[in-house]
Each structure stands twice: as C-alpha cells, then as structure tokens.
Chains A and B, each alone.
Chain A
Amino acid sequence: MRASGWVMHLALCGALLATIGCTPLAPWERGTLAKPAMALDPNPAQSAMRTHVRISREAASGGEATSGGGCGCN
C-alpha cells in the first residue's frame, strides 16, 4: 500500500473512533484507565534503551521527535 493510502486509512480509522466517544467521561469512570498497565507506554525508560539498540539494527527505528544522540554505527 502506498504511503498516501496509509494516511487515508489511518485518518478514516481515527475519524470513526473519534465519533465513538465524545461525551465527557466522569473522573470516577476512569479508574480502570488509571491503572499503570493501561498507560500507552508502561515503561518508557526501557523503551528508550531498547530503541537505541534497534537503531543500529533496523532502518525504521528512530526518526521521532523524542531526541537522542548516538551514532548507532556498530
């Protein structure tokens, strides 16, 4: 699939999902969402370390706005 196709696909999914819940969710209804396991990245420090190793093994790792230096030349 071409890149533009993926953009359209994701935009469509996003629009559909966004319509699912637009009414406010009361704080007491968010207890489950507050569990550590429900965080988008439950262990960001580990993710960052692993990404740094993957950068020197995969062409598509990195390239995000969360900066970090390093050659990754090995």
Chain B
Amino acid sequence: MAATETRSAETPRSKSLRTLTAAALALPGIMPAGSPAAEGSRATLDYQHYNEGRRDLASREYAELDLKAIEVDSLALAMHHAFHDLFALDLHYMQDTWAGATPVLSLPQAAISDQIYTGASIPQSYAVDRDGQPVTVNYDDFTGSGFAHNRDGRGVHLMGSASAETRRQVDATLGYAGGTHTLRIGGGVSEEPDYHSAFLSIGGTRDFNSKRTTVEWGASYTHANIDASLEANSAADWGAYAARIRLQDGQRTLFGQRRDTALTLGVTHIIDKHSLFALGAGYARASGYLGNPYKAVMLAFDDSSQLPDASGLRTVVLRGVLEQRPDQRHQWTLSARHVGYVERFDAALHADYRFFRDDWGIAAHTFEFAWHQPLGFGFSLIPGLRYYRQSRAEFYRAYFVFNQAMPVMPGPVIGGALPEIDHARLARHTFASDTRLSDFGFLAGQLAFKHELARGMTFEIGTEYGVHAGWLKLGGDGEGSFADYDSYFVYGSLALDLAAPALARAARREGHAVLLPRATPAGVRYAERLATAGDFAFGYRYEYGLTGGGLRRGSDDVSRREARANGCRDAPCVLLPVDINTHVSLLDLRYALSSRSTLMLATRFLSTDLDQSAVAARGAFEQDSSGGLGDSEVTWLHGLIDHQRYDFSLALGFSAPTGSIHSRLGDSRAFAPYALQLGSGTWDFVPTLTFADDHATWGWGAQATGRLRLESRNEVGYGLGDRIEASAWLSARLCAWLTASVRGLLSAASRIDGEYDARLAPHLVGYRYRGTEAVPVYSFDRAVHAHASPLDDPGAYGGLDFDLGFGLSSLIRNGPLAGNRIAFEWLQPMLNHSNGYQPDRDGRLFLTWELGF
C-alpha cells in the first residue's frame, strides 16, 4: 500500500520529466522525424488489415467464380535506441501477407458473352458493329436475317487468384547528431517468393536560424531481382520479355533486375509558436524490368478489310500478351505540409499536398487533412480525409484495339498452342492494363482514436474507408466503372518508451522491478506474473519453427517413395512436403490485479511458408503460404505460494478462435493443408502449473501445461488434437545480468479429429439470356478435400516429441533500459514419434523481450 501511495505521489513528476524531455527533443527543427538521438529509446508495434471490396464482374459473381477479394495483413516492429548522446540505432522489421484475387487484364464484356457461348477456355473474339463498337450477340435468337445484338461498351476484368504470399523486410539505420547537423546511413533487405531486393540510404539535416529552419536531404539506391512464375499467365504471349523467360523448378519463370535511385531535398520551417510548414522535392529514377509479371493486356485485332456478316457485324480477334512497360522511368515529386495549432479547440490541423509527375505521362495530386482533437485524460480523436487523383500512363488502356489482322510469326504452330504475335508489325510496343496506371480518383475518410496510457505507452487504433473510382477523377476522363472498388484499412499501433521503467523506478525511489527476477527460459510461457498490484508489462515473443530435410513415420525415417505410396488416403501422393517454416510473433499485455494475480491478454500474428515437391515432375515445386492474425488468449496467472525465493503458480487461460481457418490454395480454392491454417477454429482451455526455485547463483523449475480443445470440431469440420507439455530446466547465473539455461521439453499431441467438410464448388451447367447478354448458370456441388500430400491427412498430425533447449536470459538492472528483459532459447529435437508421415522437425528458436512499467 505504501508503495502504491509513493508511486501515485511521484508519477506526475516523472511524467512531467518525460514529457519535458520528449518535448525538448521532439521540437520541429531540432529533431525532425527519423533523426538520430531523438526521444531516447522507444519501440513501436503496428498491425494493419487491408480489405478490398469486390469488383463489378458484370454477369458473374465472386461466389460463382470461386474468388475472394484481396486482403493484406501487415505487422511491423520498430526499435529506436539512442546511445552516447550522439548516436542512435533504428531497427525495423515488417511483413505483409497478401491473399485473394486481383485483376489480370480487362477486356470488353462482349468478349465474355462470346466466350460463354462458344465454351472457349479463354476469350478469343468479340463482335463489333459497323462503327467498330463492341456488341453482345444473342446467338439463340437466330432469325435467318441475322442475330439480335446490341452495343455493349462495358469493360470487365478477368480475375486471377494466387496463393497467399508473405513479404518480409528488415532494415537498420545508424544516425549521428552533432550540433546543428545530423547524418544517417541505413540499409535493408526485402524478401518475397518472386522478388528480392536490397537497399541503401543516406541522409541528413542541417539546422539554421537558431533551429527554426531545418534543411533535410536524402538519397537511396535499391536493387531488385525478380523471378516470377508465369504458370498462371501461361496463355499470354510473352512479347519482348521472351528472352527473360526460362524454366525454374519446372515452371516457366520470368527473370529480371530492377534498380531504383531516389534523391530528396526538403526544408522545415517554424512559422511561429503555433505553426510550421515543410516543403519537399524528390527525383527518382527506375530502370530495368519495371513490369508486373502477373498482369497481362488484351490486344484486339479489328481487321476492317474483312466482310461484315448478314447482321453487319465483324469479328475482332483477341490475344493476351504480358504487359510491356518501358524499361526506364523518371519521377518527380513536390510536397507541401502545414501543421497548425488551433488554440480555441486545443487541436492540431494537418494539411498536406503532394504533386507527382513522371515521364510515363502520369500526373497525380494528393490532398490529405487530419484534425488531432484531444479529448482529455490522454485521449485523442483524429478524423481525416484523403483525396488522390491521377491521370493515366501513356501506354495504359483497358484493352488495345489495332485496326489490322493479327500479325503472327511465320512458321508452324505446335499442338494446340496459340500463334506467337509478330510484335515488329504492331504500331506500339508498350501496353499495360494495370488499373493503377489508369485515370481515376480515390476519396477516403479516416478516423483514429489515440490514448496515451500511463508510463510511456501510447495506443492508437484507426480505420480508413475509401472509394477508388473513375468518376472521382476531377476533370473527367476517368476509367469505366468496371475498375471501381472500395476498400478499408483497420490498424492498431502501440508505442512504448523503453526508458519508462527506469524513469518510473527512479521516481518511486524504491527500485522494485515490475518483472519478477526469475530466469525462466525464453520458450516457457504462462510464468510471467508481475510483482506488485497496478504494474503493467508488455511482452513480445518471436518463435521461428523449422521443419524439413526428410520424412518420418513413427520414430523411423522413411523414403520419399514410401511416403508417396502410403502417405495419402486413396491414391499415391501428388505432393510431398520439403520445408515448412513458421514465424510467430506473440504480443502480450499484462496487468497485476494484486501481488499474486496477473491478468494477461495475448494475441499472435503468424506466417507459414510451405514448399512441396511435385512427385510427377522432377525438380518441380509448389509453394504455398499463409499469414495473418492468429488465436488470442486471456489468462489469469495466480501465485499459489508467496515466497521470496520460490514461486508456485497456476495459470488458467482461454484461447479464442480469432485466427482464420479458411486458408485456401491460391488458384484451386481448395483448403490449404491443415498446417497452413492460422488458428485452431475452436475455443481452447489452457491450464498451466509452474514451479520455479531461484538461488543466488543457480535455479531450477518445472512446468506442465495443456491446450485442451473445448469444442470437438471447428466450423470447417475438424478439431486439432489436445496438446500436453511438460518441461524442466536448470539455470545458472553467469554474471549479475546474464543467466544461462538448459531445458528438457516433452510434448504429446493427438491426431486431428475429423477433417475438412466437403465444400460447395461451383459447376457450370448452362446459360440463360438476359436481353442479349448470356448469363452463366452454376450449380454448387460437394467437393471432398483432396489428399494430395501427407499434410492433407488429419491422422498424420500429432505425436510424441522430446526436445533439449539451450537459452540465455538477461534482465537489465541499470541504465536507461533498466527493467527490460531479453531472452533467447534454441530447442533442438532429440526424439520424435509422429502419428503419420511428417517432415522432420529441425528445431525452434525463441526470442523474447519483456518490458515492465
């Protein structure tokens, strides 16, 4: 009680101190955003979900085409640490997972009607009237003198679904601040299955006029290698990119390189004590392969020399081509930003404008406004508005019409292949139908809610809803409505002042640590009870699981031949797993209800990459990924015995099924293997008992924990098996701040119960006419989940494993980062007994970071 009173009396002072320190350092003109040595040490965590609405596919529906609108889940972690007063290090990790369907190309709706009638696998032609306008034809209404038809100028997208893909980026920046100038250098890498880039940057600032004016400059260079599979675009002509395409892993793959150089110059100026503005200019040059390998364009050949039929119609021949962009791009940007304080409302108004122009013919204007309104008690409401407008690239069209017969390369055409286009006989050599290059406007409303929690934590949640539409382009000439869509963002952001624990302790003058000084290994959860009522703690745990190298069944290694023959239910396997790599980021917030009880909220964000080899084609691989929000937990941690040296605690947790169990294989829309699902899909009960005994130089502990499914099946028909783990560890204090540990972990998991329900798959049964428009009619049939790989067999999951762990743990006791705990552990598999054919486990890595407030 005394401690609580002391803190409540001292907290305002420490808060004032922090506020003053941050204020002095954050002054515009003194430390512009991203400057070194600014704001001590801090960390931010951000999660964002982006969801796009459905496009107008004219006569067809997403459900009938088995499509899902695109979704993006992003996670970012950033840490800024200032040291020696002059230097600062910024570390940044970001990952984003994209899943869903996007447009591959666009074409006249009349061509879809024609395709539907002819039953062709891809659109091959459409009819035009005497004026060259597309028409839809009702072939069922043959009158003897012609077909009923009407003009139909609508465009429509052809959509393509790809398997979910995750991009990961790591970058670092080292900064130096000396007197009136700062300097920063940085670099990083970005990895995704088909795009690998590395970048370097340098920049700095120089203050003038008693730090009232700051000039900022920057330069960057990015190099990217592209190796994109073209299997999804296999029908398209390759055009000028033919020389870039080779076989890789049994798939036709486009290889390219790209270089981007950018320069920026800006000035920030404080107008008066209530307002400031910033002006910026930038130039960027891109060269190399600048196309999008997954986009194609439809070339329409309208040979006006052909004789019209009895109805006066001509046939236009279609051919899809990979989009062809110029191999250079020069871009210029100008920006102006103004921030003003509105004293009457104690609010800040942000007004930003950005102009963009490039030599592809695109000009764009962006206007953004945000109003930061404090509501009292640390709460703020931030409404905003964004308007963006761009004109199209010179080489963009929804589709390209050539008034000539399709020019084809001389020579025989093999099998059923389409003839290759002779591009030398085309009037243009650059084409794109990617709607990001079209004429459009985008209008979005934004709303954010921010709360500055006590002790250096700031939490923000926000959303944006926007409409992308041709009619929103001020000045007219916008793209047709087929390219319109709406979209929304939701995000959560947590910022932490890493020095807050040290400041809080200094303010309390009591020196007690929020985190209990236990030395539990990094992989041990549910033992993170806090010391004193009212304490907060934040934890981040990264787990990297590696699986692959070989296959086993029971305790024996098995050959791929045996796994192929017996690993799938009814027929030999088509795929065999090679590698499964799982990345899990687990975030938790803890609050001490009393010195014995702590409440913990936790959620996870995960991504999984699966490589499987195709049995039928030597060297061919299939890559699948999933990523996004996983399951979330609420746990009550309670100390059963309150003793200074040892701790015996009980944890009762409930896991909510917030993780998706609807991950699909990209283009087939069949369920992904169970291992790729993000959550269990069931409510789970997670009880844990932990005992820890810490001596001056050594300690030991033991834990038993279970994950028991409260529902036997989830909504798609299966239930993960129960999991029980028992572990024991020994720890030795190597020095005052570092502890080493060794741990044995025995875990048992039962098989998956049930299996994926048969899903309803669309099946084309015929057509009906709506006016002259042919509308496809689908029935939905039950499609049983196919066992293509041992990972599709629910009986193969689970088993009995024994792992040996080696770890290091450090609770920082002094300095500006006092109160932070970091820990590392590697779990090495020693014994495995799998229930079915499974890939070998290679090990698990845990990195944890905890921060008590």
A residues with a Cβ closer than 8 A to B are 3, 6-7, 10, 13-14, 17-18, 20-22, 24-25, 27, 29-46, 48-50, 52-53, 56-60, 62-71, 73-74
Contact = CB atoms under 8 A, between A and B. Distances in A.
B390 A73 contact: no
- Identify the 4 closest CB pairs spanning chains A and B, nearest first: A69-B190, A69-B197, A34-B23, A60-B364
B269 A40 contact: no
Contacts of B437: 59
Interface of B: 22-24, 26-28, 32-34, 44, 46, 48, 50, 70, 72, 74, 76, 78, 94, 96, 98, 102, 162, 167, 169, 171, 186, 188-190, 192, 194-201, 203, 209-210, 212-213, 218-222, 224, 226, 228, 262-264, 267-274, 276-279, 281-282, 284, 292-295, 331-334, 336-337, 339, 341, 347-348, 354-358, 360, 362-364, 366, 372, 374, 380, 388, 390, 393, 436-437, 442, 458, 460, 462, 464, 468, 487, 489, 491, 493
Contact of A49 (B46, B212, B442): B46
Contacts of B188: 67-69
Contacts of A74: 70, 72, 98, 102, 162, 294
15 contacts: A3-B363, A17-B277, A30-B270, A30-B273, A36-B26, A39-B28, A39-B33, A40-B268, A40-B276, A49-B74, A53-B72, A58-B436, A58-B442, A67-B188, A68-B199
A67 B460 contact: no
Contact of B190 (A45, A48, A68, A73): A68
A38 B262 contact: no
A56 B198 CA distance: 19
A24 B264 contact: no
Contacts of A56: 436
B34 A45 contact: no
Given A17-B269, A33-B276, A52-B96, 12 more contacts: A22-B209, A40-B339, A41-B33, A42-B372, A43-B460, A44-B34, A49-B94, A69-B189, A69-B190, A71-B192, A71-B194, A74-B294
A25 B372 CA distance: 24
A10 B28 CA distance: 21
A63 B262 contact: yes
Contacts of A63: 262, 282, 284, 331, 333, 356
A64 B284 contact: yes
A2 to B, nearest CB: 9
A34 B166 CA distance: 38
Contacts of B284: 62-64
A49 B72 CA distance: 11
A24 B26 contact: no
A55 B839 CA distance: 38
Contacts of A57: 436, 442, 468, 487
Given A17-B269, A63-B356, A69-B169, A40 B489 contact: no
B279 A35 contact: no
A33 to B, nearest CB: 6
* B276, B294, B295: most-surrounded residue (chain A CB, <10 A): B276
Contact of A29 (B189, B273, B357): B273
Contacts of B271: 17, 20-21
A58 B468 CA distance: 10
A5 B812 CA distance: 57
Contacts of A44: 33-34
A5 to B, nearest CB: 10
B442 A10 contact: no
Contact of A67 (B167, B201, B228, B341): B201
A22 B197 CA distance: 43
Contacts of B70: 74
Contacts of A65: 201, 203, 218-220, 262-264, 282
B232 to A, nearest CB: 12
B75 to A, nearest CB: 9
Nearest to A57: B436
Contacts of B273: 25, 29-33
A45 B76 contact: yes
A40 B33 contact: yes
Contacts of A13: 279, 336
Contacts of A59: 356, 358, 360, 362, 364, 390, 393, 436-437
Given A44-B34, A52-B74, A71-B194, A58 B364 contact: yes
Contacts of A31: 23, 273
Nearest to B448: A43
A38 B276 contact: yes
Contacts of A45: 44, 46, 76, 78, 493
A73 B167 CA distance: 11
A66 B388 CA distance: 21
Contacts of B33: 39-41, 44
A12 B48 CA distance: 39
B222 A39 contact: no
A14 B162 CA distance: 47
Nearest to A33: B28
Contact of A50 (B48, B222, B263, B348): B48
B50 A21 contact: no
Contacts of B32: 40
Contacts of A50: 48, 464, 489, 491
